[in-house]
Structure 1
Amino acid sequence: MEGSITDAKLPLLPLLNGTPSLQEEGPYTGNGSVDVKGNPASKTHTGKWKACYSILGGEFCGALAYYAVGTNLVSYLTKVQGQSNVTAASNIAAWQGNCYLTTILGAFLADSYWGRHRTIVVSLTTFTFGMVLLTLSAVVPPNMHRSMATFPQEALSSLGLYMTALGLGGIWPCVPTFGADQFDDTDVSEKAQKELFYNWYYFAVNGGFFVASTVIVWVQDNCGWGLGFGIPTLFSVIGVVGFLASMRFYRYQKPGGSALTRICQVVVAAFRKVHVDVPSDSSLLYEMPGKESAIVGSRKLMHTDGLRFFDRAATITASDEASASRPWKLCTVTQVEELKIFARMLPIFLTGVIFNTAEACFPLFVEQGGAMDNHFAAAFALPPASLTTFTCVCILVLAPTYDRVLMPAVSRITGVKRGLSELHRIGVGMVFAVLALAAAAAVETARLRSVEAEAPAVSILWQAPQYVLVGVAKVFGVVGYIEFAYEQSPDAMRSLCQACSLIMVTPGSYLLSAMLTIISSVTGGGGGHGGWIPKNLNEGHLDRFFWLMAALQLINLIAFVCCAATYKSKLPTT
């Protein structure tokens, strides 16, 4: 981290009033944020950790509600609604895909028109309404089916699921960015605290997942689905109320208009001036006078070399001087730099497609565990799916201790105050993703050898390392992508960039599904041979598929290193 905090120690869990700033240049923030009344935000009375507790609490409640639905949804659709396994799996895949695809819509509304706070409030309300419909679908009497043309359970659950997906589209890209907005990055002390926020945000998400996948799933299986959906619905309501209760403490960033429109304006203006020479002196390029940017809610961006073709959009010609401002012909330097920054970030985001296939392999991990000895402590049988708890516990332990234990240790090695940059953190996560798939392959190789030797079945606990390694990969990689999306993006495009990092989960899942289909077709052959992944894993070679995925993760890591080595970081804003 640039700048030094020599004697200040950052607490593991920050105090209610936050850590006193080491740099107090004035009573107001320097990043253009405002308070609930639209006035410049006070450093003393707004933002920092007193604002973040309600944000993190709301995220915990929202994550608990989401995972309470997603973790056990297949059981509800098959056992309660009577859907086939294929239909249920297809519906769940479509729902999960929509959850991530709608993040683009939520980010667009937040950056362009509504702002992050309003988008979160509307999205939380929409999500909660969807949870209410799901709860109602679980308590509708089954005998109503006979007297109605359409099944109320299916109609209510389908509408509820798509309402939750629509709500999550505004929650996921906006909550981490809105939380980071509570810290002024022009203040050295607050910027250090913001780096802590990313870890606590991910801790809150996985805390909700842990409670949902243990307590709530047990309630659903043993106490009924009405209560199983009703409890997370109540938590969702609590999250909305808690989030609204702290409005006076928040710092708000004004929406800057459509980022997609500004990008298109730069592209069109650059192509319209394809034969115009760009001046060698960047000060001759067009920019608004004074300190304020032409983009509402965004500070000015300094001109950078590279991608000089787009500088034509800010090159002033004789026709520009003679006419009024025409944004589709003449753009500001800040607007051009927005496009340049996004173009430089895009290759880093794309490496997230392969990285996210590591977690997408969890269903295969569960199938692998089903072919192993799951008896633990004599008579106790360990469900294969319960081993995902190792991933969750790893995250819950590692996320809050990262800054207290790991960062100081790495800092002593690298000589950098913050230990690892965003790109370094993503790279470390990718290394652990390779190790996780390699561990899964090694365990499967050992299991198949024991089957061939007719030896006792391998214990399911041998899967623990691969789940733990995925947890470590997520703490470094996923949090690194969240931090990268906020720190490197322009002020008025932060929600959009956050959505870009999230949406990479969807093509990652689609890629894994396509690979499974192709490999099954290629290796299956004829005569009923099951290929690498048959119904009976003892007759297949799941280990080869895991080795293939490990190799793919390694290639992705190499590609990421090449992208990171050539990546040009965003210059300080003015």
Structure 2
Amino acid sequence: MVGMLPESNAQAADVLGDAWDYGGRPPARSRTGRWGAAAMILVAELNERLTTLGIAVNLVTYLTATMHVGNAEAANVVTNFMGTSFMLCLLGGFVADSFLGRYLTIAIFTAVQASGVTILTISTAAPGLRPAACAAGSAACERAAGAQMGVLYLALYLTALGTGGLKSSVSGFGSDQFDESDSGEKSQMMRFFNWFFFFISLGSLLAVTVLVYVQDNLGRPWGYGACAAAIAAGLVVFLAGTRRYRFKKLVGSPLTQIAAVVVAAWRKRHLELPSDPSMLYDIDVGKLAAAEEVSSKKSKLKQRLPHTKQFRLLFVQKYVPAITETSVQKLLMSFLDHAAINEEAGVDGEASKWELATLTDVEECPKGMKTMSTGLFLSTLSLGFFVSSALVAAVHKLTGDRHAWIADNLNRGHLDRFYWLLAALCFANLAVYLVAARWYKYKAGRPGAAVEMADAEPCLH
């Protein structure tokens, strides 16, 4: 029996305690995760980039040459499609964090994207889903009917929905395959992100070269059919790795916690704050200590944060570094503090989270916003696409049909003026950046920088 102890210890060391396998059991380190699982996730991301850009990069010519849409409208269709794809990353991240988990989110939304691309392929192949070709020598061409454009929009926005849900979870699920507590796997995880961006770039390169060549020389049905086959193959490869994946605990979306604090604060905005912050409702320290003794899983506990002036002002100084300790900061933090006002003595957590939040919940809002950084970054990309659509529409309307900058016949337009406008906007953007950069404070130089905002354990989900 003594001789079996080392073997038991070795088996315990081979099992991860903060994850489970496809069967709901603690995963064995030697048989799950790491590069074997991460490689299959990378294939899904490669095929997603190949598919999405394979559609978008050459879509304007399809809209103008086949669907007989004007240049300005065609450009806006593409930018709106790409903007929606990135904006839906916020929805995908919320669904993954709160309901489905990353694995199911990737699988379901990849299937949605595959269905959208399949419909797009059918619309390019079926004669009834596109207008008749222009008559020889005729300057006027029949524009696509409403039903034909409707099928095209259905295909594009199903594809956008799938892209948003897939893209928001792939990198996180890939990092879940490596154990950060193990130094070897942690270094592998850093290399995983290098390969992740390499595969994004590789997919983009193949889209703008190989797929564009196929679309122009073999036809749109072949080009978009290749996109459909690629995303379907990516889904098959991803599902094939199910037995090797490590699944992490579903921790919920920070959006829910932030929204609960803001709603509770708004409901009690007219109440007067107590002069002593310790009177605000918070976690019972005694119960928390008892829970820590009983529980063996620290990840289930809410960590009590330091209620200091520096910490409370760190939120605004982190995200609005140009503002110093002013009344604006105090106003923001005091507003959120209203969420922790205990209206009834003796309330011990029975109140709804939309009516009463702990002071710790209030101060964890900055942490929640930190975890949303990827989704917020992608949403800024979507805003860029939408602003592009608005700019094209405004220029087209202001320049009119007689002297249009973006004319249907480019030889009669003034694209040079439009590009000069874009150049001026780029210089203005650079000027704004330089001004903002002067205000930036590095983390080490900010007040309250010594306060640790993260939990002792990483919140992977």
**TM-score by structure 2 length?**
0.72
**Cα distance in 2 for residues equivalent to 1:554 and 1:520:** 31
For the 8 Å contact 2:50–2:207, the answer to whether it is kept is: yes
Whose relative contact order is higher, 1 or 2, with alpha carbons under 8 Å and at least 6 apart? 2
Letter of the 1:119 counterpart = T
Higher Cα Rg, which structure? 2
Equivalent in 339, 348, 361 of residue 365 of structure 2: 339
Deviation at 1:160, TM superposition (A): 0.7
**Cα distance in 2 for residues equivalent to 1:519 and 1:83:** 17
SS at match of 2:27: coil
Give the equivalent residue in structure 2 for 1:570.
453
Equivalent in 85, 94, 97 of residue 71 of structure 2: 85
For the 8 Å contact 1:74–1:92, the answer to whether it is kept is: yes
Segments of 5+ residues of structure 2 without an aligned counterpart are 1-9, 133-143, 313-332, 406-412
Give the equivalent residue in structure 2 for 1:547.
427
* Count of aligned positions: 392
Deviation at 1:274, TM superposition (A): 5.3
SS at match of 1:40: coil
Q: In angstroms, what is the RMSD of aligned CA positions?
A: 4.1
Equivalent in 117, 134, 144 of residue 131 of structure 1: 117
Deviation at 1:258, TM superposition (A): 5.2
Equivalent in 108, 117, 126 of residue 103 of structure 2: 117
Give the equivalent residue in structure 2 for 1:279.
278
**Cα distance in 1 for residues equivalent to 2:425 and 2:259:** 42
Equivalent in 186, 193, 202 of residue 191 of structure 1: 186
2:411 aligned with 1:506: no
Letter of the 2:168 counterpart = P
Give the equivalent residue in structure 2 for 1:253.
248
2:90 aligned with 1:104: yes
Deviation at 1:107, TM superposition (A): 1.3
Letter of the 1:255 counterpart = L
For the 8 Å contact 1:302–1:337, the answer to whether it is kept is: no
Residues 324 and 179 of structure 1: CA distance in aligned 2, closer, same or farther (over 3 Å): same
Give the equivalent residue in structure 2 for 1:39.
25
Deviations 1:36-56 (A, max 9, x none): 122233333222211100000
For the 8 Å contact 1:34–1:253, the answer to whether it is kept is: yes
For the 8 Å contact 1:60–1:205, the answer to whether it is kept is: yes
Segments of 5+ residues of structure 1 without an aligned counterpart are 1-22, 346-488, 490-495
Give the equivalent residue in structure 1 for 2:326.
none
For the 8 Å contact 1:124–1:240, the answer to whether it is kept is: yes
**Cα distance in 2 for residues equivalent to 1:143 and 1:504:** 34
Equivalent in 302, 305, 308 of residue 303 of structure 1: 305
For the 8 Å contact 1:36–1:251, the answer to whether it is kept is: yes
SS at match of 2:433: helix
Equivalent in 235, 240, 255 of residue 240 of structure 1: 235
SS at match of 2:20: coil
Letter of the 1:36 counterpart = Y
Deviations 1:396-440 (A, max 9, x none): xxxxxxxxxxxxxxxxxxxxxxxxxxxxxxxxxxxxxxxxxxxxx
Deviations 1:155-203 (A, max 9, x none): 3321110100111121111111111111222333322222222221111
SS at match of 1:43: coil
Give the equivalent residue in structure 2 for 1:410.
none
Letter of the 1:27 counterpart = D
Aligned ranges for residues 80-479 of structure 1 at < 5 Å? 80-141=66-127, 153-257=148-252, 259-269=254-264, 272=268, 275-276=273-274, 277-279=276-278, 288=288, 289-291=290-292, 300-304=302-306, 305=308, 306-307=311-312, 309=334, 319-320=345-346, 324=350, 326-331=352-357, 335-343=361-369, 345=370
Equivalent in 68, 74, 82 of residue 54 of structure 2: 68
Letter of the 2:305 counterpart = H
Give the equivalent residue in structure 1 for 2:15.
28
Equivalent in 57, 60, 63 of residue 43 of structure 2: 57
Residues 565 and 337 of structure 1: CA distance in aligned 2, closer, same or farther (over 3 Å): same
For the 8 Å contact 2:76–2:389, the answer to whether it is kept is: no
Letter of the 2:456 counterpart = T
SS at match of 1:57: helix
SS at match of 1:29: coil
SS at match of 2:251: coil
**Cα distance in 1 for residues equivalent to 2:154 and 2:19:** 37
Deviation at 1:133, TM superposition (A): 0.4
**Cα distance in 2 for residues equivalent to 1:101 and 1:538:** 26
Deviation at 1:570, TM superposition (A): 2.8
**Cα distance in 2 for residues equivalent to 1:42 and 1:539:** 57
Letter of the 1:137 counterpart = S
For the 8 Å contact 1:35–1:248, the answer to whether it is kept is: yes
Identity across matched positions, percent? 29
Deviation at 1:265, TM superposition (A): 2.8
**Cα distance in 1 for residues equivalent to 2:357 and 2:432:** 41
SS at match of 2:24: coil
Residues 225 and 144 of structure 1: CA distance in aligned 2, closer, same or farther (over 3 Å): closer
For the 8 Å contact 1:136–1:156, the answer to whether it is kept is: no
Deviation at 1:284, TM superposition (A): 5.5
**Cα distance in 2 for residues equivalent to 1:279 and 1:141:** 72
For the 8 Å contact 2:176–2:247, the answer to whether it is kept is: yes
Deviates more, 1:91-100 or 1:271-280: 271-280
Give the equivalent residue in structure 2 for 1:466.
none
For the 8 Å contact 2:92–2:168, the answer to whether it is kept is: yes
Deviation at 1:331, TM superposition (A): 4.0
**Cα distance in 2 for residues equivalent to 1:141 and 1:219:** 20
Residues 274 and 52 of structure 1: CA distance in aligned 2, closer, same or farther (over 3 Å): farther
SS at match of 1:81: coil
Residues 224 and 44 of structure 1: CA distance in aligned 2, closer, same or farther (over 3 Å): same
Deviations 1:98-132 (A, max 9, x none): 11221222111111111111111110000000010
Deviates more, 1:256-265 or 1:203-212: 256-265
**Cα distance in 2 for residues equivalent to 1:25 and 1:558:** 53
**Cα distance in 2 for residues equivalent to 1:562 and 1:517:** 40
**Cα distance in 2 for residues equivalent to 1:125 and 1:562:** 43
SS at match of 1:131: helix
Deviation at 1:34, TM superposition (A): 1.9
Letter of the 1:303 counterpart = L
SS at match of 2:29: coil
Residues 518 and 180 of structure 1: CA distance in aligned 2, closer, same or farther (over 3 Å): same
Deviation at 1:518, TM superposition (A): 8.9
Residues 145 and 111 of structure 1: CA distance in aligned 2, closer, same or farther (over 3 Å): same
Letter of the 2:236 counterpart = V
**Cα distance in 1 for residues equivalent to 2:444 and 2:368:** 14
Give the equivalent residue in structure 1 for 2:140.
none
Residues 542 and 130 of structure 1: CA distance in aligned 2, closer, same or farther (over 3 Å): closer
Deviates more, 1:99-108 or 1:502-511: 502-511
